[in-house]
Amino acid sequence: MMETIISVSQLSKTYAGGFQALKAVDLEIEKGEIFALLGPNGAGKTTLIGIICGILNPSEGSVSVGGHDIIEDFIKTRSMIGLVPQELTTDTFETVWTTVTFSRGLFGKKADPKHIEDLLKKLSLWEKKDSRIMALSGGMKRRVMIAKALSHEPKILFLDEPTAGVDVELRKDMWEVVKVLRESGVTIILTTHYIEEAEEMADRIGVINNGEIVLVDAKTELMRKLGTKQLTIELQQPLDRIPAALSSHDLELAAEGTQLVYTYDTQAERTGITTLLNELYQAGIKFKDLSTSQSSLEDIFVNLVKRPS
């Protein structure tokens, strides 16, 4: 049985200017999972994270973290959370070591140079520990921000667009770190534009658009939808209806009877394509072309967020 670690209930946020960034959002994050929040710019991802972490005030609704309310018991909830914000905001004049040590102290944890050392080594920052942050590259600064967020050993880690503007190598490194963290029991919530990233890493995927959660599903469930493929058969002669001999297949007529569309599961042991083509031949149905198509997570995503609200 999964245990809920973050519970968002009817959460709304309207900014001073009148813009409603979140509309009665309900969301449950399970302990130990990697949850990917997908959504276009301005969908409300950062607002949602900001409220949970205490940077923004909610307008309505409530959030509990580890069973504690984020307003009433903020000391408890914030101790559990590490945040890597989207913007590269760092103390430019500080060294890597001081800034990461500062973060640990700020979160009320006893100084632990060994932990900081391990962390910096894991993030390939050890050689840079005495460098000033302004002397680091963008990717290195991103690592510093991750080190800051992990300095106080959080149980929950928020990564807001962690790989935006990051090179491929660093992205891979980062996913390694995330995997190790997950193995140690840390719950990870990430927002991303990269669908393949969500596919690669996440256990569950939530899609947010216009301040509303449009869909939350296990990744495998989405992959199953993703796993269906369609074979389109262009016929030489249009058909009025699907011949009885072919009724055992999942077939549909399209384009005024000039196309037969066969939907099949790529994950299945047998796709049934050979049988279908044999039976078409035996039924005397001739075709001039064949094509296959696959709906990607990206298509699902685009369809979801384009749907008029």
Partner 1 sequence: MNLRAVRAIYLFEMNRTWRTIAQSIVAPVVSTVLYFVVFGGAIGSRITEVDGVSYGTFIVPGLIMLSVLTQSVANASFGIYIPRFTGTIYEVLSAPITFFEIVLGYVGAAATKSIILGLIILGTASLIVPLQVAHPFWMMLFLVLTAVTFSLLGFIIGIWADSFEKLQVVPLLVITPLAFLGGSFYSINMLPPFWQTVTLFNPMVYLISGFRWSFYEIADVSLEVSLGMVTLFLVVCLLMVRWIFKTGYRLKG
Of 108 and 238, which CB lies nearer to partner 1 in the complex structure?
108
Nearest to 35 by CA among 259, 231, 204: 204
Q: Does 83 bind partner 1 (CB under 8 A)?
A: yes
Q: Does residue 75 touch partner 1 according to CB under 8 A?
A: yes
Question: What residues numbered 133-172 form the site for partner 1, per CB under 8 A?
Answer: 148
- Work out how close the CB of 191 gets to partner 1 at its nearest, in angstroms, rounded to a whole number: 15
Work out whether 79 is an interface residue with partner 1 (CB under 8 A): yes
In angstroms, the CA 154 to CA 52 distance is 14
Cα 259 to Cα 249: distance, rounded to the nearest angstrom:
15
Annotate each residue in 232-271 with x if it binds partner 1 (CB under 8 A) or - if it does not, as one string.
----------------------------------------
**Least CB distance to partner 1 at residue 104 (A):** 8
Which of these segments, 90-98, 167-175, 234-242, 282-290, binds partner 1 (CB under 8 A)? 90-98
Residue 70 or 222: which CB sits closer to partner 1?
70
**Distance separating alpha carbons of residues 71 and 131, to the nearest angstrom:** 37
**Shortest spacing between CB 199 and partner 1, in angstroms:** 29
- Is residue 194 at the binding interface for partner 1, with CB under 8 A as the rule? no
What distance in Å separates the CA atoms of residue 198 and residue 207, rounded to the nearest whole number? Answer: 11
3-state secondary structure of 45: helix
Q: Could you give the CA distance from residue 79 to residue 119 in angstroms, rounded to a whole number?
A: 18
State how far the Cα of 195 lies from the Cα of 163, in Å rounded to an integer. Answer: 12
Applying CB under 8 A, among 1, 110, 130, 270 the residue interacting with partner 1 is 110
CA within 13 Å, CB half, 91: 13
